[in-house]
């Protein structure tokens, strides 16, 4: 069955709709859509990284993926640990991991889980991005996008406190968030949450996917956005469910 319309945000081109029967059935495909179709000044805003436009977020996540694949041999089914607060870096890294068909695993201090790699707030991000920049070519970027699109919806995307969440389940969470908080041009979602709750991450990826929303990390919006929605508790992002 051909997907006739994008469920939220900016619609894809008709030619893309008619040749792609799967539609936006994975987190990868949603994020690829947002990277291609967007109308906003910034994808993310954060105190440490400032304003990040869509092209930069897309390129950084691809460079991270290339470095993970080439140097750490991360591939489909491999588990990558996240031992850090929720941030722009988390989002960029998680998209890279998912695009490789690998699994993100939020960790608690002292976890002894066997993992392919672990990233923390103390990881050398500059070295990772420098290495990714060396590997980054148009051909490798095209490879990443094609590989990410082909990941099936029933593949495990993350492991949350021992429970597996598949790509199709992430899509449902993103769709539910956007049904409650529809996107609009100029809208800014202020995320004052440092814990990597699934609902908070769904907010981030919903904004990335819809192509319109800017996600602001921190307790204040530096632009003082007039159309800014603030999320600071679990009930804010999950609706108490």
Question: In the chain, where are the structural domains located?
Answer: 14-238
Q: How many CB atoms lie within 10 A of CB 241?
A: 6
Q: What is the distance between the alpha carbons of residues 67 and 18, in angstroms, rounded to a whole number?
A: 34
Q: What is the distance between the alpha carbons of residues 181 and 203, in angstroms, rounded to a whole number?
A: 9
Three-state SS for 122-183 is CCCHHHHHHHHHHHCCHHHHHHHHHHHHHCCCCCEEEEECCEEEEHHHHHHHHHHHHHHCCC
Rg of the chain taking only CA atoms, in angstroms = 17
Q: What is the distance between the alpha carbons of residues 3 and 24, in angstroms, rounded to a whole number?
A: 8
3-state secondary structure of 96: helix
Q: Cα–chain-centroid distance for residue 152?
A: 17
pLDDT of 2 reads 42
Reported pTM: 0.93
pLDDT of 208 reads 97
Q: Smallest Cα–Cα separation from 100: which of 131, 76, 133, 136?
A: 76
pLDDT at 19 exceeding the cut of 90: no
Q: What is the distance between the alpha carbons of residues 72 and 89, in angstroms, rounded to a whole number?
A: 18
Record the tokens describing residue 179, joined without a space. 């049904």
Contact 88, 198 (CB under 8 A): no
pLDDT-derived band at 3, boundaries 50, 70, 90:
very low
pLDDT of 112 reads 74
pLDDT at 18 exceeding the cut of 70: no
The model's pLDDT over 109-142, given as tens digits with 9 standing for 90+, comes to 877 788 999 999 999 999 999 999 999 999 999 9
Q: Smallest Cα–Cα separation from 66: which of 6, 129, 23, 153?
A: 129
CATH of 14-238, one of 3.40.50.720, 3.40.50.12780, 3.40.309.10, 1.20.120.1200: 3.40.50.12780
Share of the chain above pLDDT 70, in %: 94
């Amino acid at each position: 069955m051909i997907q006739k319309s994008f469920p939220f945000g900016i619609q894809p081109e008709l030619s893309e709709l008619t040749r792609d029967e799967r539609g936006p059935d994975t987190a990868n495909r949603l994020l690829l859509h947002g990277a291609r179709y967007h109308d906003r000044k910034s994808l993310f805003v954060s105190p440490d990284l400032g304003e990040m436009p869509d092209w930069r977020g897309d390129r950084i996540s691809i460079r991270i993926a290339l470095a993970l694949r080439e140097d750490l041999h991360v591939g489909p089914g491999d588990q990558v640990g996240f031992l850090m607060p929720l941030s722009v870096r988390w989002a960029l890294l998680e998209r890279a991991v998912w695009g490789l068909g690998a699994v993100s695993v939020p960790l608690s201090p002292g976890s002894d889980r066997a993992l392919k790699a672990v990233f923390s707030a103390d990881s050398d991000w500059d070295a990772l991005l420098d290495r990714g920049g060396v590997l980054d070519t148009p051909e490798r970027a095209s490879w990443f996008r094609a590989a990410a699109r082909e990941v099936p919806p029933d593949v495990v995307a993350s492991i949350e406190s021992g429970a597996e969440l598949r790509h199709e389940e992430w899509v449902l969470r993103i769709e539910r968030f956007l049904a409650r908080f529809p996107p609009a041009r100029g809208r800014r979602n202020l995320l004052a949450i440092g814990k990597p709750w699934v609902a908070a991450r769904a907010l981030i990826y919903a904004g990335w996917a819809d192509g319109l929303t800017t996600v602001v990390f921190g307790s204040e919006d530096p632009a003082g956005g007039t159309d800014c929605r603030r999320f600071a508790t679990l009930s804010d992002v999950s609706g108490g469910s």
